[in-house]
Amino acid sequence: MKQIELSKSKKMILFEAIAFLVLGILFCCSIAVDSLLGTILGIALLVCGTLIFVVGWMNHKIAINAEGITSALLIALGIVCFIQPPQLTTIIAMFLTVLGAILLLDGLLGCFIKNLRRKTASAVIETITGICALTLGLCLYLIKEFQRYAGLVLGIIFILLAVLLLIYVLMPEVTGKSAR
């Protein structure tokens, strides 16, 4: 049996995926109590924001990139959760709206700016994901009947994100001409 060797950045992504998976299960099972929710979400956002920043730094050696901006917003949201713990629906709507806007902007930049050296398919998928997350976040703000499913929606999104990160971690590294 072949043993998988993981780089430092992939090990950190694996840790992040496990954290998202645990959080997703907690939200789906409604185990996360509202009184602890601000603290749990604040810690999770701080940890994930820090991990995303470190992985982005390890991969690109610069702080101002998509990962840097995403991590800064996640860390800021984590600090806000400690200062003033908001309601569950507000947290989820805020998270999805910000995440959707970031993904939409980054996806559109990837589609229209050719110097970013990104594949068009991944930029289109990121744009569509951004539109979905932004729409979902705005629906949570605006539609009162939709708000009672907010915890389940966030749990499912965290679980899907964990699965995607695990798939990325298990994919072999591509080098040379086949990487383009």
pLDDT tens by residue, 99-136 = 888 888 888 887 777 666 667 777 788 888 889 888 88
Structure tokens at 157: 């999104």
For all residues of the chain together, what is the average pLDDT? 78
Q: What is the mean pLDDT of residues 53-60?
A: 79
In a domain, 76, yes or no: yes
Highest mean pLDDT among 23-27, 53-57, 92-96, 132-136: 132-136
If one counts every other C-beta atom within 10 angstroms of the C-beta of residue 46, the result is: 19
Structural domain includes residue 179: no
Sign of the dihedral through C-alpha 137, 166, 23, 152? positive
Q: Which domain holds residue 117?
A: 8-170
pTM (predicted TM-score): 0.57
**pLDDT of amino acid 132:** 86
Over 50: is that where the pLDDT of 180 sits? no
Q: How far apart are CA 173 and CA 180, in angstroms?
A: 12
Position 1 in a domain:
no
Q: What angle do CA 66, 175, 65 make, to 5 degrees?
A: 10
The answer to the question of residue 3 being in a domain is no
For residue 178, is it within any domain?
no
Tell me how many domains the chain contains: 1
Does 132 reside within a domain? yes
